[in-house]
Chains A and B, each alone.
Chain A
């Protein structure tokens, strides 16, 4: 009857994300090689076809939240760090992007680049301080720092508009009118940035650098003993992740034409973690899937006048954490793997 645990995890293997032991990048030439390209192609087609099936602004939201979730997964799934403060990067980039677009009127990708760089800049001190703690402490410290960013943005109301948020962010795109006025065409102009971000995440994960991250997740002490500067790797991936979150937040701000303190709020940090966990930790592909489900669900709930979104999202969270800790993508992948590899590769 004693189900008591103190601080340390009793699950074998990974101390930080016990359910993601099988996410290490596959060796080249593995049997999933061609499958991966097929999936990438399917994903690309689905991404490009999305605005025909979904209201284009909602499609843009899905894409932005997908990249945001991937940025969180880069830390959680591949480095074993749960950031509960990623709204700080998504939100601050949305403000900086908006301010650049309003005051300088540059084409939107440049404004977004500015927002992204700002997010990375503030991620340096936050990451430097946060990586001094691991596990649950890391989550709490990042959460607290994100709240600090929230308060600062609230105080600088002359710049940020305070409670009112930043209104009337223009879309400027080399004078190409359809992109600047029609959300449908804007989607195709902006989706490139999102895909670029996803590609960057994929490259990071499948690089030697990404392997070191997984090694740190699996066994920080051993990684350190092998000569890797663990904290430095963590800070670098934290800043990269913040950059991707910033990229997503910038696209979000331009797409909506306004941004508000809600984007910096800790519920936003929580929502993106929900999307990541729902899709599947340590899968990258889970992010888009989770984003599609959560954004569509929220859109449906809001347009049907139902106000208890928190009840629904909270319940999903509880159910996922209790019953489907691998998330949707992880669960599906496990089933597929069991099919494809009935005998070998089982016993770890």
Chain B
């Protein structure tokens, strides 16, 4: 029983990264109609930025948690302004390919600068030990990751449902043309929304830094699992991204615990099942032909 609880916490922690990053992917897709292939690279940039900040400027983890997303927001703004924007009118496949090329560049630049071996990152003070809840020992940091990512998802949810900006984002996700017809300047929100989505990927990266090996390739597999997450949740569905993120994290953790050989395959089997029985995703609306 205690082992099961530990796997669950582990799965929810991994799911937290997926949920945060998938949330960013979903928001970007909702407003821009772009599937950002470089999301994994941005996640990696978040982790590398945290490691470099700690190493060079001795910036503490908690500060990095605030600074890095802002840096990544700026990266996202640059990407959108310089590149993404020119292809928004075309088939979304072009931006998919563009961001794929971008991600090749980013990964290789980091690889050349910081090598292929992992950068070190210590768990922040007070997070190294274990929590004992009801006689079950749980890694403090995993518990923190679960709670914190849930918190961020909650905050984003509130932003989307309770603020005017959130309302515009949701409205343009639903029907951009009609939103525009109602006199709302949707275009004004394109750049900030893209930056925001990238910042979420960066935040997931910072949180992963004490947890995973920080390498240039850390986002390569991540982004594909992220795609599986949004296919399962329903691309464009905010709730779907979060729920599917945690779900995939759990599947991965239970898989690693009980059937280690096919842990990673299990995620894709889950995706195959969803595509077979609910092609639009668990929370998606069926808008495709």
Question: A residues near B, CB below 8 A?
Answer: 1-11, 15-18, 82, 129-130, 132-137, 139-141, 143-145, 147-148, 151-152, 155, 220-221, 266-267, 270, 273-274, 277, 307-311, 313-318, 321-322, 325
Contact = CB atoms under 8 A, between A and B. Distances in A.
A26 to B, nearest CB: 24
Contacts of B35: 136, 139-140
Contact of B264 (A1, A143, A151, A310): A151
Given A5-B32, A267-B220, 19 more contacts: A3-B88, A5-B88, A6-B32, A133-B231, A133-B288, A136-B235, A148-B264, A270-B104, A273-B97, A307-B112, A308-B109, A311-B109, A313-B104, A314-B101, A314-B105, A315-B105, A317-B104, A321-B97, A322-B86
Contact of A310 (B107, B227, B228, B265): B107
A135 B271 CA distance: 17
B53 interface: no
Interface in B209-248: 220-221, 224, 227-228, 230-231, 235-236
A130 B175 CA distance: 26
Interface of B: 29-33, 35, 83, 85-94, 96-98, 100-105, 107-109, 111-112, 172-173, 175-177, 180, 185-188, 190, 220-221, 224, 227-228, 230-231, 235-236, 261-262, 264-265, 268-269, 271-272, 275-276, 279, 287-289
Contact of A11 (B90, B105, B180, B236): B90
23 contacts: A2-B185, A5-B88, A6-B30, A6-B33, A6-B177, A7-B33, A7-B92, A7-B287, A11-B89, A18-B90, A129-B275, A130-B275, A137-B231, A139-B35, A140-B230, A307-B111, A307-B112, A308-B109, A310-B105, A314-B108, A318-B98, A321-B87, A322-B86
B247 to A, nearest CB: 15
Contacts of A129: 272, 275-276
Contact of B32 (A4, A273, A315): A4
Contacts of A273: 97, 100
A154 B219 CA distance: 19
A143 B35 CA distance: 13
Contacts of B96: 82, 136, 139
A109 to B, nearest CB: 32
A139 B231 CA distance: 11
- Say what secondary structure dominates the interface of chain A: helix
Most buried by A among B105, B185, B276: B105
A270 B100 contact: yes
Contacts of B105: 310-311, 314-315, 318
A205 B153 CA distance: 48
Contacts of B228: 144
Given A3-B88, A307-B112, A310-B107, A139 B93 contact: yes
A145 B276 CA distance: 13
Given A5-B176, A6-B173, A145 B268 contact: yes
Contact of B91 (A17, A143, A152): A17
A137 B281 CA distance: 11
A137 B231 CA distance: 8
B220 A134 contact: no
B265 A152 contact: yes
B108 A11 contact: no
B176 A221 contact: no
A256 to B, nearest CB: 23
Nearest to B112: A308
A10 B90 CA distance: 6
Contacts of A5: 32-33, 88-89, 92, 176
Contacts of A8: 33
Contact of A315 (B90, B101, B112, B176): B101
Contacts of B91: 9, 11, 15-18, 135
A322 B87 contact: yes
Kindly name the residue among B172, B269, B279 whose own CB sees the greatest number of chain A CB atoms within 10 A. Answer: B279
A1 B102 CA distance: 24
Contact of A3 (B187, B288, B289): B187
Contacts of A274: 101
A145 B272 contact: yes
Contacts of A141: 231, 271, 275
Contacts of A7: 29, 33, 92, 236, 287
A266 B33 contact: no
A145 to B, nearest CB: 6
B92 A321 contact: no
Contacts of B175: 6
Best-surrounded residue of A10, A140, A155, A308 (most CB of chain B within 10 A): A140
B288 A148 contact: no
B32 to A, nearest CB: 7
A140 B89 CA distance: 20
Closest 8 CB pairs of A and B: A317-B101, A2-B187, A314-B104, A310-B108, A314-B105, A148-B268, A6-B176, A310-B104
Contact of B102 (A82, A148, A318): A318
A148 to B, nearest CB: 4
Given A147-B268, A266-B220, A4 B88 contact: yes
A140 B92 contact: no
Interface centre among B29, B93, B227, B228 (most CB of A within 10 A): B93
B93 A314 contact: no
Nearest to B232: A144
B14 to A, nearest CB: 16
A155 B262 contact: yes
Nearest to B187: A2
A94 B280 CA distance: 34
A313 B104 CA distance: 8
Nearest to A154: B264
